[in-house]
Structure 1
Amino acid sequence: MSFNRRTFIKSASLAAAGSAAGLRPFGALNALAQSATDYKALVCIYLFGGNDGNNTLVQFDSKDYANYSSIRGPLAIPQSQLLQLSAAPTYAVHPNLPDIQSLFDKNAAAFVTNVGTLIEPTNRAQYIASQFNGNGLPSNLFSHPDQRLEWENAAASTTTQTGWAGRIADTLNTTYNPNGNFPMVTSVAGDTLFCDGSHTSPFSVSPGNIGAGQCSEGAECAARQATAQALLGFNSGVTLIQADNNITTKAYAYAKALSDAVQSVNPLKTVFPANNGLAAQLQQIAQIIQVRSALGVNRQIFFAGIGNFDTHGGQLVEQGQLLAGISSAIAAFYQATQELGVQNNVTSFTMSDFGRALQPNSNSGSDHAWGSHHMVIGGAVKGGKLYGTFPTLALGGPDDSGSNGRWVPTTASIQYAATLAQWFGVSAAQLPTIFPNIGNFSTTNLGFV
């Protein structure tokens, strides 16, 4: 993960201010909001570790299922357990994704198939050739930290120090959020490159801890708060320290605005599943969306995440448990957007490091691969459909980068991201600023939203 100077200053200032003022745990507070009818939010759900798309979305017709089953061996899910998609009956989803099945069949969810990091359109032959000449490929394929960075910065390079959500904020903030009390981008899953802009900064909120900035030590609170504010108002003359103080001052203001807004509304009626980390994050996002008018922001991007999908062993159990939690969490979040009347204004989508090889390893797991399938959920989604090109499931076949089922992506992650960005409000002319390699692709909008 990238950890640049700005990120360090932000994190250090929040921690230092919280300690000095007796406000620990202060958390990193952030929020996003809307003013009126022109509200849109993107919610990234990051599947840390590389989710196995081959068992998330499965071909269901007899011939293709038999081919899948013979290659997957011990990792093959019995056909009788798979959940067939009524809207796309030749496909089925993992048995622990009943809510995704339901949303898909109600046209509120779609799958985008065989998506991965690319610099330019690439096929098997070009990939093999590029391995020898070193041109045209993303940096360090099959590496967790590198591929995660490249999904988050949408630049197919590990050296880019901003994320595509951050660059959207750089580009659109003054247009859509001129009077906002909060930045455009929020994480509920810690610090991440995805959120970082070059001249806009994200903030993060700990799920269920919006009031963490409130002192709880009785009479000492006022004195500590006054001391902290006095320290922040001191002009040290040192640039880095002054920048730290400015950021921390804003954090106090954001904390108060968010806390006041949340306290002014009734709790959501939607029940989120307990003991579910992703559900807690999405519930927090829903709560922030609920107070969008009070916070005065018309565009928001959220980052949530869950893991660990690095299933080198025991995959059937581990991935199954994770997908079950994702299914129920996404269902509750979509219900909450319906309760708030913004289901057509909020689009959620998955990202992950990479897919996993179709051929199992010797430990009842699967190894790092490349292209994978992703979910997009929301009332604005043109659901009940698969977008992109599903790979040919053949070891050493036309879509295999080698011989064990590591699919060469037929859709680039930047095409996927650019489609979401355009729905959000990014114009065609602004795309190259946010997605440096988008000009290498003839299609910049996949049409799923």
Structure 2
Amino acid sequence: MRPNRRSFIRCASLAAAGNVLGLRPFGALNALAQSATDYKALVCVFLYGGNDANNTFIPYDTAGYNSYANIRGPLAIAQNQLLPLTPLPNFALNPNLPDLQTLFNNKNAAIVANVGTLVAPTTKAQYQANQSLPSNLFSHPDQQLEWQNASQSAAAPTGWAGRIADTLNTSYNPNGQVPMITSVAGDTLFCNGSASTPVSVSPGNLGAAACSESTTECGARLATAQALLSFDTGLTLVQADDTITSNAYNYSKILTAATSSVPKLQTVFPANNGLAAQLAQIAQIIQVRAALGVSRQIFFAGIGNFDTHSDQIAQQSALLAQISPALAAFYQATQELGVASNVTTFTMSDFSRTYQPNSNTGSDHAWGSHHFVIGGAVKGGQMYGTFPTLALGGPDDSGSNGRWVPTTGSMQYAATLAQWFGVSAAQLPAIFPNIGSFATNNLGFV
């Protein structure tokens, strides 16, 4: 991912102060929370590398499956292994997603079909004529940035979550002790606003000021680091980041104090599962929302690597087998906390992958993909958007190997989530500059 200004100043400050303390960059920073009745949270789970949606959400009717098996060849999953979706009898899920099958069949999850980065509604003919297309399609770093900034140009400096925070923070979090946005997966464009700053948390280590050495040595490191932060360097960027880092120490103290005062959640998250650890940390922060005084929160989590150019079946199966129980445990945790209808979790990814396999039993970079939305407020058990015609060279194929031209823009997907979160119709254009190019700005899944 391309470095941006905020990434530079954060790294500069953490190198000066955090390294003295013995902390890894972004290792012990932030969190969020809220205080009571009008609480809402969005939780983004980014599938880095481009998840193959064609082997995630699969035709199950006889004609659809036979066509799938014929074209996908070595990537096709046996029909008797697929997990049928009761409300959508013509579709099934990958066999490694049993928990998502249950959530969908219980109407706590929905699927949004053929979503991708778009500047405006685009047809196959317009794509082939190179008309109004997002920049650098099929490029991992560019498409990751464009999903996160919803501007369809990798050059946009802020993310759509950051712009939501810019817009809503004063209204919803006037007394918040921590920022609206937190990441448990490092520094990302998604979280960056113009006027608001996110914080990063290392899962399981909110109080990062607790280093691994003796109390005396840790205290000396902390004192030295904080002394460095007080120096007037005369450099604007470094001074600005010193403020960010000082805030990080404060957030660490606030979060540690808040989370240490509540009982451990009863929900059991899967062990040895990185995504589960991230989501468990998010659940713990949501648990102390009242103490933190924040009524709106946005969280960012991530897992990779879905860049399956070879040996795809084994690689994707292992990753989906982590995602399914992690998402189910998180939903269970929101039920335990009494906020299942107040927390909406959704997936994003660089892109999907070609329907036609490559010569290495893998698949290559594509475009339109299918995504999950989970939560008690979700109008689940349904597919939203338009499922593509799965034919090489067909009406939805941008070329001849199964790169589906999206029928729903990622901006529409994001705008639907934003409106549920509290963004008004009048505020949408400030957050999603091209939303007026689409006839629909709310897909109705939540």
Structure-1-length-normalised TM-score? 0.96
Q: Which amino acid aligns with 1:107?
A: K
**Per-residue deviation at 1:217?**
2.2
Distance in 2 of aligned mates of 1:222 and 1:50: 44
**Per-residue deviation at 1:224?**
4.3
Aligned to 1:9: 9
1:424-435 to structure 2, matched below 5 A, reads: 424-435=421-432
1:140-155 to structure 2, matched below 5 A, reads: 140-155=136-151
Q: Secondary structure at the match of 2:67?
A: helix
Q: Secondary structure at the match of 1:64?
A: helix
**Per-residue deviation at 1:89?**
1.0
**Per-residue deviation at 1:127?**
1.0
Aligned to 1:246: 243
Aligned to 2:156: 160
| Number of aligned residues | 445
**Per-residue deviation at 1:18?**
2.5
Aligned to 2:110: 110
Relative to structure 1, is the Cα distance of residues 148 and 225 closer, same or farther in structure 2, using a 3 angstrom cutoff?
Answer: closer
Deviation per CA, 1:113-137, whole angstroms, max 9, x where unpaired? Answer: 000000010111111122xxxx300
- 1:438 aligns to 2:429 (yes or no): no
Contact 1:114/1:372, CA 8 A, preserved across alignment: yes
1:194-273 to structure 2, matched below 5 A, reads: 194-215=190-211, 216-273=213-270
**Per-residue deviation at 1:220?**
4.1
**Per-residue deviation at 1:67?**
1.0
After superposition, the CA RMSD in angstroms is 1.4
Distance in 2 of aligned mates of 1:353 and 1:213: 34
Aligned to 2:56: 56
Aligned to 2:379: 382
1:13-92 to structure 2, matched below 5 A, reads: 13-21=13-21, 27-92=27-92
Q: Secondary structure at the match of 2:11?
A: helix
**Per-residue deviation at 1:17?**
2.0
Distance in 2 of aligned mates of 1:206 and 1:306: 14
Q: Which amino acid aligns with 2:431?
A: I
- 1:192 aligns to 2:192 (yes or no): no
Distance in 1 of aligned mates of 2:84 and 2:221: 59
Relative to structure 1, is the Cα distance of residues 87 and 26 closer, same or farther in structure 2, using a 3 angstrom cutoff?
Answer: closer
Deviation per CA, 1:207-258, whole angstroms, max 9, x where unpaired? Answer: 1111221245223444444444344334444423321221121111111001
Contact 2:45/2:348, CA 8 A, preserved across alignment: yes
Relative to structure 1, is the Cα distance of residues 226 and 435 closer, same or farther in structure 2, using a 3 angstrom cutoff?
Answer: same
Q: Note the residue ranges of structure 1 that are not aligned, 5 or more in a row.
A: none
Deviation per CA, 1:102-154, whole angstroms, max 9, x where unpaired? Answer: 00011100000000000010111111122xxxx30000111111111110110
Aligned to 2:328: 331
Q: Specify which of 278, 281, 291 is matched with residue 281 of structure 1.
A: 278
Identity of aligned residues (%): 72
Contact 2:11/2:25, CA 8 A, preserved across alignment: no
Relative to structure 1, is the Cα distance of residues 222 and 54 closer, same or farther in structure 2, using a 3 angstrom cutoff?
Answer: closer
Q: Which amino acid aligns with 1:30?
A: N
**Per-residue deviation at 1:87?**
1.4
Deviation per CA, 1:174-202, whole angstroms, max 9, x where unpaired? Answer: 11111111111111111111111111111
Structure-2-length-normalised TM-score? 0.97
Bigger shift: 18-27 or 357-366? 18-27
Q: Secondary structure at the match of 1:242?
A: helix
Distance in 2 of aligned mates of 1:308 and 1:199: 32
Q: Secondary structure at the match of 1:197?
A: coil
**Per-residue deviation at 1:68?**
1.0
Aligned to 2:339: 342
Relative to structure 1, is the Cα distance of residues 315 and 24 closer, same or farther in structure 2, using a 3 angstrom cutoff?
Answer: closer
Relative to structure 1, is the Cα distance of residues 400 and 217 closer, same or farther in structure 2, using a 3 angstrom cutoff?
Answer: same
Q: Secondary structure at the match of 1:428?
A: coil
Aligned to 1:175: 171
Q: Specify which of 336, 355, 362 is matched with residue 359 of structure 2.
A: 362
Aligned to 1:101: 101
Q: Secondary structure at the match of 1:89?
A: strand
Q: Secondary structure at the match of 1:350?
A: strand
Contact 2:55/2:94, CA 8 A, preserved across alignment: yes
Deviation per CA, 1:275-312, whole angstroms, max 9, x where unpaired? Answer: 11100110111111111111111111111010111111
Distance in 2 of aligned mates of 1:326 and 1:22: 32
Bigger shift: 438-447 or 227-236? 227-236
**Per-residue deviation at 1:168?**
0.6
Relative to structure 1, is the Cα distance of residues 63 and 22 closer, same or farther in structure 2, using a 3 angstrom cutoff?
Answer: closer
